[in-house]
């Protein structure tokens, strides 16, 4: 599948996990089949806009959020911030806060 299919699927998975939803719960809330949710998250299915809209609604995130910060064929130096963003966004809020504090402490240590 395409790069954007995998990217959006990962975004959906990240938001689902942040909410503590199973694939089955997201399927129930969005009106999609659980197998389809799994295929979308793994980037195996090219979801329709209608399906993505139903899923974003079930996740209570704007549709645009699932597509933001996507740049096709970005340079390796631009990939690092995006990888950090994706890593942080895939973690529960509590872990996001811990990771952020760790980064701040490293930055403070480096500057002292």
**Do 23 and 57 belong together in one domain?**
yes
Domain holding 47, by residue range, is 1-69
**Do 64 and 77 belong together in one domain?**
no
Sign of torsion over alpha carbons 61, 70, 1, 22: negative
**Do 49 and 90 belong together in one domain?**
no
Q: What is the pLDDT of residue 33?
A: 96
Output 96 or 73, whichever has higher pLDDT: 96
Per-residue pLDDT of 14-64, as tens digits, reads: 899 888 899 999 999 999 999 999 999 999 999 999 999 999 999 999 998
What integer is the mean pLDDT of 61-90? 75
């Amino acid at each position: 599948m395409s790069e954007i299919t995998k990217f959006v699927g990962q975004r959906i998975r990240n938001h689902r996990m942040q909410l503590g939803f199973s694939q089955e719960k997201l399927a129930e809330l969005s009106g999609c089949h659980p197998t389809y949710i799994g295929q979308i998250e793994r980037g195996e299915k090219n979801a329709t806009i209608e399906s993505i809209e139903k899923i974003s609604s079930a996740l209570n995130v704007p549709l645009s959020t699932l597509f933001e910060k996507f740049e096709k064929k970005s340079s390796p130096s631009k990939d690092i911030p995006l990888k950090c963003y994706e890593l942080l966004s895939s973690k529960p809020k509590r872990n996001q806060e811990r990771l952020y504090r760790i980064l701040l402490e490293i930055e403070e240590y480096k500057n002292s």
